[in-house]
Amino acid sequence: MMDSGFDRRDFLKVLGWGGTTAALGGCGFTSMEDGKETVVSYVEAKDYMIPSISVYYNSTCTQCDMGCSISGRVREGRVLKLEGNPESAINRGKLCGLGQAGVQHHYNPDRVREPLLRTGSKSGETITWEKAYGLIAEKLNGVSGEEIAFLTGGMSGHLKVLMGNYLDSFGCKNHFVYEAIAPAVVRAANKKSYGVEMPRISINKAKVVLSFGADFLGSWVSPVHFSQQYAQFRKGVNGQRGVLIQVESKMTLTGANADRWLAVRPGTEGILALGIINALGTATGDVAAAVKGYDKVRVSKDTGVSAEQIDKIAALLKARTPSLVLVGSAAEGYAHGSQNAAAINLLNQVLGNVGKTVEAAASVPFPQMAPALGNTAALQGLNKGLAEGKFKVLFNYAANPVFTAPAAMKFKDNMAKAGFKVVFAHYLDETALQADLVLPLDSGLEDWGSHVPEYMAEGAQINIQQPLMEKIHANTRGMGDILLSLVKQRRSEDYKKYADYYAYLRDALLKNKDAFGGKGIDDDVFWDDTLSKGIVKLAGSTGALSAKASAAGLTLPAPAAIDAQFPLQLIPSVNHSLRDGRNTNQPWLQESPDPLTTIVWDSWVEIHPKKAAELGIAEGDIVEITSKNGSIKVQAYLFPGIHPDVISVPLGRGHEAMGRYAKDYGVNPFLILDAIFDKETGELAMHETRVKVSKTGQKVIVVKDEGPAGGRQMGKKIAPRLPTDKVDFSKEV
């Protein structure tokens, strides 16, 4: 055997070393990150704070103005999630997606944390509260009441009272209450037709709901309440499922849930309402005379709704009572909106719904606390004063007019004419950026307050707002506390005893506890009980509704002719989460797809496929929309739920400020709106803007949740549908 120099022993040696090396290589790796495993516990926990046990505190949601009551889950001193408070008749334990995002309003990293003095320095200099209050006192010194202006959003409750007292101390009457999107024309029309601005409606009692653009499931008035009524409505009265008919020029969320959605020529809703009254054939007196000329042929020609459809609607309304007729965008959209609303409310009267599905709402017996409702006419008044250079000091709270005012009003320029501008803000939004002094507010989950809702669901109630946790940022203040400090500058004797707004609120509520059902109950017990419930129910007064059907003063214009230069009509749509843009910096809402288009994080323009084909526009094309007052560039989306002569861009995006989640996403259609106002109320007619559309040649891929299949099921049984005559509801639970 030749000696090859390698034998069995060598072989085993090599094997052994190789194996060990391989084994050693795998050590030292755990699946948890090194150094990140720490357990943090409070050294001194508060005695109500038991780790891992949630405590629930009730308060009021401030994401929109409807005043749903919330129940916040708080753990280890942090609010984690909001749920609905079952105690409130308005939301009955439910809370919409917008309300859920309240925690993102509260924890938002872009909140203003310190008072900022911005005069002279673009980035702002941080100052103390004492200095801020001193500066305000200084600027108000020697200024008369007419030279001071307060612009706020809708206000109610004790904050409104305190605000009123502060204004009184100057003899100032310039409190402008402004809401960019408000059912202001509806309110005025209701007042005329029924005698109250916001009657209590009962969708659940109606067998047919005919809605003229009222997006009651999305953003109109109190969608959380109405959605629950809607559920009962669908279950039906005596097993007969309710029928929803929606009449509008651009499909809203409610329209998407209608049994029949009618694309009506924009502005002709009133004509259709009169046409239906005519078709009903039950009207008498001046009403019959008024509708005589609105036969279905003429109405069909004017509105685009077929004659058979009009007949069907009339027949249905006759056969199934009570019904309910609602007016929404038909009123807010047009220069003749009040007339539209009057005609539509008349239909309710003729059908005999008043007193059945349209009833008087309860009201809180403290008129000073009743909500001051906002509208755009108020902004016009302020704008006029600013333009004239009338105001030396301007205060702004809960409104963002630089973002929401149409550019035609030149609000930003006019605002610059005010001498000293103070903005109370949560974030540096467009209006705050124009301020001289920005004062940081407590979030809606850190503050005390009382709110009287505009829409009273059942009995009268006052919503209580209490902090769900300690302030995150030490230097923010509640608006109530700020106002109290300011009013103390003027009337120190009257308010000396109140250390803070909490004391003021508590005192005010306890003073009237008898009316609030606290008669004979100990003060502290009553207060704790109120806070734990989150609302105060009281015996409110209910007025009577006028059920007289009268067509007095009702004149509807003929349908508008199409402007050759601006052939399309722009409808800026209201998304149920983004609304007027106050919540756009909440990322859950940015990432939540629009229910109808499924688009996220960006704006779009909805064009009917027929019109898009005519113009040669495909999905994703960047088009320029030009009105007389400006233009915006936005991606196109082909959408079948819109009248072919109408295009629609959503409101709420297009911020130029307001933090990382809102800035530079989308475009702001508010800016290009024509300054056309409702003749009777002076409200901005939102749908009257005429535009032209042109391609820019650029193209993007639309960022949306739906895929290339769009809304098609490709022959699969994914979302099928049954007609009522093929369904047996009797067996259902």
Site for another protein in 226-265 (CB under 8 A): 227-228, 230-231, 234, 241, 243, 245-246, 251, 253-263
Distance CA 304, CA 297 (A): 10
Closest CA relative to residue 343, chosen from 292, 270, 275: 270
Q: Does 720 bind another protein (CB under 8 A)?
A: yes
Angle subtended by helix axes 157-170 and 501-511, to nearest 10: 110
How many C-beta atoms surround the C-beta of residue 347 within 10 A?
Answer: 27
DSSP label at 731? G
| Shortest distance in whole angstroms from residue 156 CB to another protein | 24
Q: Which is nearer to another protein, 52 or 284 (CB)?
A: 52
How many Å apart are CA 620 and CA 396, to the nearest integer?
A: 39
DSSP state of 546: P
Ramachandran quadrant class, 74 (left: phi over 0; alpha: psi -120 to 50; beta: rest): beta
Q: Are 480 and 162 in contact (CB under 8 A)?
A: yes
CB 270 to another protein: min, Å: 21
**Interactions with another protein, residue window 652-681 (CB under 8 A):** 660-661, 665
* Dist CA 337 CA 556 (whole Å): 9
The distance of closest approach from Cβ of residue 303 to another protein in the complex, given in angstroms and rounded to an integer, is: 14
> In whole angstroms, what is the distance from residue 274 CA to residue 287 CA?
9
Question: Which residue from 195, 559, 595, 682 is in contact with another protein, where contact means CB under 8 A?
Answer: 595
Considering only residues 21, 41, 52, 284, which one is a binding residue for another protein as defined by CB under 8 A?
A: 52
- Taking the complex as a whole, the smallest distance from the CB of residue 494 to another protein amounts, in Å, to 37
Q: Which of 557, 587, 630, 682 binds another protein (CB under 8 A)?
A: 587
Smallest distance, another protein to C-beta of residue 224, A = 6
Q: Is 311 in the site for another protein (CB under 8 A)?
A: no
Q: Does 718 bind another protein (CB under 8 A)?
A: yes
Compare residues 277 and 418 and give the one whose CB is closer to another protein.
277
Q: How far is the CB of 654 from another protein (least distance, A)?
A: 14
Q: Which of residues 602-621 bind another protein (CB under 8 A)?
A: 602, 610
Burial code of 409-431, b = ≥16 C-beta within 10 A, e = fewer? bebbebbeebebbbbbbbbbbbb
Q: Is 15 in the site for another protein (CB under 8 A)?
A: no
Interface region with another protein, contact rule CB under 8 A, candidates 10-18, 450-458, 482-490, 520-528: 10-18
Judge residue 328's burial from the number of C-beta atoms within 10 Å of its C-beta, 0-12 exposed, 13-18 middle, 19 or more buried: buried
Residue closer to another protein, measured from CB, 33 or 493 = 33
Of residues 135 through 174, those in contact with another protein by CB under 8 A are none
* Residue count of the chain: 733
Q: Which helix (DSSP H) or strand (DSSP E) does residue 693 occupy?
A: strand 689-699
Report the alpha-carbon distance of residue 154 to residue 517 in Å, rounded: 27
472 conformational bin, left if phi > 0, alpha if psi -120 to 50, beta if neither: alpha
180, 309, 165, 334: which is closest to 246 by C-alpha?
Answer: 309
Of 9, 497, 519, 721, the one binding another protein by CB under 8 A: 721
Applying CB under 8 A, what is the total number of residues that bind another protein? Answer: 113
Residue 240's DSSP bridge partners are 237
Contact 118, 435 (CB under 8 A): yes
Is residue 712 near another protein by the rule CB under 8 A? yes
301 or 312, CB closer to another protein? Answer: 312
Contact between 380 and another protein per CB under 8 A: no
Q: Which stretch binds another protein (CB under 8 A): 17-25, 119-127, 321-329, 593-601?
A: 593-601
Q: Of 55-63, 551-559, 680-688, 723-731, which part binds another protein (CB under 8 A)?
A: 723-731
User: CB 527 → another protein: shortest distance, Å?
Assistant: 28
Cα–Cα distance, 207 to 351 (Å, whole number): 12
Contact range with another protein by CB under 8 A, out of 311-319, 388-396, 410-418, 564-572: 311-319
Closest alpha carbon to 606 in 628, 629, 575: 575
Q: Where are the alpha helices (DSSP H) in 123-200?
A: 129-140, 157-170, 184-194
Per the DSSP assignment, residues forming a β-bridge with 422 are: 395, 437
Q: For residues 278 and 298, what is the distance between their CA atoms, to the nearest angstrom?
A: 11
Q: Which is nearer to another protein, 192 or 225 (CB)?
A: 225
DSSP code, position 401: H
Q: Are 384 and 174 in contact, with CB atoms under 8 Å apart?
A: no
CB of 15 to another protein, least distance (A): 11
Q: Tell me if 727 contacts another protein by CB under 8 A.
A: yes
- Cβ proximity to another protein, 230 vs 424, nearer residue: 230
Question: Residue 626: beta bridge partners?
Answer: 631, 692
Quick one: 153 or 444, whose CB is closer to another protein? Answer: 444
Residues 636-655 close enough to bind another protein by CB under 8 A = 640-641
Q: Count of alpha carbons within 13 Å of 728, Cβ hemisphere only?
A: 2
Report 56-95 residues binding another protein (CB under 8 A): 75-76, 78-84, 94-95
With respect to another protein, which residue has the nearer C-beta, 40 or 558? 40
Instruction: Look up residue 118 and give its two tokens.
Output: 């911005």
Interacting residue with another protein among 85, 88, 100, 193 (CB under 8 A): 100
Q: Tell me whether residue 498 or residue 665 sits nearer to another protein (CB atom).
A: 665
Closest contact distance (angstroms) between CB of 357 and another protein is 18
Residue 701 Ramachandran class (φ > 0 left, ψ -120 to 50 alpha, else beta): beta
Closest approach of another protein to the CB of residue 674, in Å: 26
Q: Does residue 96 belong to the site contacting another protein (CB under 8 A)?
A: yes
Query: Is 622 near another protein (CB under 8 A)?
Result: no
Taking the least distance from each CB to another protein, the nearer of 227 and 648 is 227
Cα 385 to Cα 147: distance, rounded to the nearest angstrom = 9
Binders of another protein in range 452-491 (CB under 8 A): 472
Q: Choose between 96 and 418: whose C-beta lies nearer to another protein.
A: 96
- Site for another protein contains 598 (CB under 8 A): yes
Nearer to another protein, 167 or 251 (CB): 251
Candidates 307, 316, 510, 622; binder of another protein (CB under 8 A) is 316
Q: 383 to 402, contacts with another protein by CB under 8 A?
A: none
- Name the DSSP class of 337: H
Contacts of residue 525, defined as CB under 8 A and 6 or more positions apart, other chains included, come to none
Closer CB to another protein, residue 303 or residue 590?
590
Residue 447: CB minimum distance to another protein, A: 17
* DSSP state string for 589-603: HHHSPPTTT-B-SS-
